[in-house]
Structure 1
Amino acid sequence: MRFLTRGGRSPKPRASLRRHRAARPLLLGLSLLFVGTLYAALTPAAPSSAEGATDQQLVAQGKNLFAVNCASCHGLNAEGLAQQGAPSLTNVGAAAVDFQVRTGRMPMANPLAQAPRKENVFTDDEIAALAAYVASLGDGPGIPTEDQYNPAGLSPEDVARGGELFRTNCSACHNFKGAGGALPNGLVAPSLQESTPREVYEALRTGPGQMPVFAPGAVPDEDVKSIIGYLEQVNATPSAGLTLGGLGPVSEGFWAWVVGIGGLVLFAVWIASRGARA
């Protein structure tokens, strides 16, 4: 059955659609979608990385990250907690934070134990924010630029000088090729064979754990690059025969003595047993 209007005609389809119960909510949703799309297209994108953020934004972001991940040991203001065995961070600088967090040594479950290298759980932006916050609390070495640690372009003489510097200052703990070694009180000097040039530079400048601090006045940046160049060269050179971990002549001499003298002893015992039977 068709219903007629006053003029004897049926209502137009468009008019019936406008009178439909769902017409207004549908038009409202479409309008909001159009306005939102237009706003997103015209609004400049917010900085999503540390490079686009201001110093104040980085410090604020780092402070929030510090409160969640670090304050339980180092205190809300990074003043350190003696009962937790965690030092103050007010004057360690951004380089120390970058090294400790980037290598996964921080945060750690037990502050009283030696921090081992493990997988990093923070993004580059979060590390930059944490470093900016700690740097705002006092003085300390900043995060180095690539020009300060990149050994590209070193001459053979520079690399040789880096080897002399490393053997003089570092090999007593890290071994002559950076393979690591044992320290007193159950501690260890970590291997440097997986460390990047940036990490080696930051470790020299900040002195993590039992390591002393090598200030620019004692070891200039050029010497640091020479040391890094030596480590890269010695670890890239293939070793012939048994390396025995690359621990040097002492360990190699020990095993030669054990194998050589032990073989002679066994040989003498065998000869004596043969003579007794004869």
Structure 2
Amino acid sequence: MNKISRDQIAGMNFHYKHHSLTYFLDAMVRYGFKHIELWGASPHIYVEGLTQSELRKVKQEIELRDLEVVCFTPEQCVYPINIAAKEDGIRTRSIDYFNKSLEVAKELGAPLLLVTPGWGYEHEPIDEAWKRSQDSLAKITVKAAELNVVLALEPLTRMESNLVTNIATLQKMLGEVNSPFLKGMIDTIPMALTGEDFQGYFNAMKNDIVHIHFIDGKPEGHLVWGDGVLPLETYIEQLVTIGYKGYLTLEYTSYSYIREPDKAIEKTLKILHPYIS
């Protein structure tokens, strides 16, 4: 059976949002994780209003447990962040938010900062919103280059965005921004909703894919493996064939896991056990 490395599996704190950050970090150690993706949101670590001393404290707690942050993902899919916003004030605030997030990522030692394309009004032509997203990403890559942190652009579902939602639009945006500090990433839920797969993404973009959110769904849902219908064994086979050596983050956003987040991790590790070495 094809297998991926256990060290490629990264934990994430989203479904620990009703527990303290230290509880999450301790859980990662308890379950044998070496790498984490840090979701930047209250009460754990929210970029806006974050002081340097607070940031240092978070970094210290992570280092005390010998954990490594592989990606920093500031909350951005909920109001009021939108880099493609028609309103200048919202767009400027969003760019500033990502620029500060890059500084946080750098301080935490994270090589990647996750970004999303934003969205345009559904009742207006898409071209202008696309140009605003492209322009914003180009501006943010300037800061990314200064700090040597790579932006990982995540396609969203069509419910979340009308801009970057599949292989073709991700490849188009990367090509138009044309920066070594903007790469692509994959979330299995948008991928499944468009009928695409890992092989298709890597055939199209090869080394431009730098990160993966690895979750089950129906096909929506960001669920624990075994709670959805996505083809885990097929996905593992594709990743091994491709030779993917990056990280696979367990991004569980369903509120069904909030009260007992440890159980979600325990079930995940049980389901993944035959596929990891």
TM-score interval w.r.t. the shorter chain?
under 0.3
Larger Rg: 1
Point out which structure has higher relative CO (alpha carbons under 8 A, 6+ apart): 2
Instruction: Give the strand-richer structure, 1 or 2.
Output: 2
